[in-house]
Amino acid sequence: MAKVVSIGEVMVELARGADGRFGLSLGGDTFNTAVYLARAGVDTAYATALGDDRYSEAILASAQGEGIETALMMRVPGRTAGLYLIDTDAKGERAFTYWRDNAPARELFELPGWESVAERMIEASLIYLSGITLSLYSNTGLGRLFATLEFARERGARIVFDGNFRPINWKGDVARARAVYAQALKRASIALPTFDDEVMLWGDGSPAATAERLATFGVQEIVVKNGAEGALVVTGDASQFVPIPQPVEPVDTTAAGDSFNAAYLASRLGGEAPAVAAEAGHALAGRVIRHRGAILPRQANA
């Protein structure tokens, strides 16, 4: 089985270009991370559910083209992939609009055959998911996901969680979001949150406060991403601030955190120290935000 299994949803992406017109691509937070992990040479699989429309076929082909294992990408006849649209302001900050309520990815852990996906996940060395992943599933789906993570942990897998909080995905139910996040964090050995998201969900006053709160769940390795302010890396009693190497004028901040996470995890899996891995994360994210959309063209990935 793949060393890393990433879980979530891949959607059709429409991003507005400099000329005001939209270009079509594919993306989704945990899928973006899976792509950058695969490009870094990490053996990676993606777990999701797709329809049988031409865009679902394009998603499958894209994953295969990136070298991502697709055996955990279930297919549902008669269904279509979700869609999201990105608008960016003059500073490169993005706003999303979604059409995804009927996407089959939401039913991954309730579809016939979901057990086989779970069994394959348990064989992984590392499982990666986000707050957006959690927002997809019903309580039944979440229960099955968390049980799968427990079995994986018992077999030695590391669980990696990026909070990636989007209020719209939780329909304003902050209490439910917090309760579900807490269940994920209790199972996580590595947390890669973005400080702005933690402020929205938990009201944290500083990256250090975020790290301290996450440590109470038993998370052993924490990296709090804070945009141009760099990242705070906390492992056990050690805490280190890792600045960005140089200021970057963003064109589009989509997938900044996703790409950081991929470079960080690839470096850690390669044996690098957390602070060195954070530097790698900054470097890749800095390249990604100079381009529109979530996934860098291959020629720009180097």
Q: What is the pLDDT of residue 286?
A: 95
Q: What is the pLDDT of residue 19?
A: 82
Instruction: Give the closest residue to 184 by CA, choosing from 156, 207, 205, 153.
Output: 153
258 carries an active-site annotation: yes
SS3 content of the chain, % helix, strand, coil (to 5): 40, 20, 35
* Chain centre to alpha carbon of residue 110: 21
Instruction: Give the closest residue to 183 by CA, choosing from 144, 241, 231, 228.
Output: 144
| Residue in the block written with tokens 């998201």 | 197
Structural element, H or E, at residue 176: helix 174-185
10-residue stretch averages of pLDDT, the chain, 302 residues long:
91 82 90 98 98 96 97 97 83 78 95 97 97 98 98 97 95 96 98 98 98 97 96 95 91 91 98 98 95 81 54
Q: What is the pLDDT of residue 85?
A: 86
Q: What is the pLDDT of residue 34?
A: 98
Whether the Cβ atoms of residue 48 and residue 73 lie closer than 8 Å to each other: yes
Q: Pick the catalytic residue from 29, 162, 252, 258.
A: 258
Alpha-carbon distances of 43 from 64, 69, 240, rounded to whole Å: 12, 8, 29
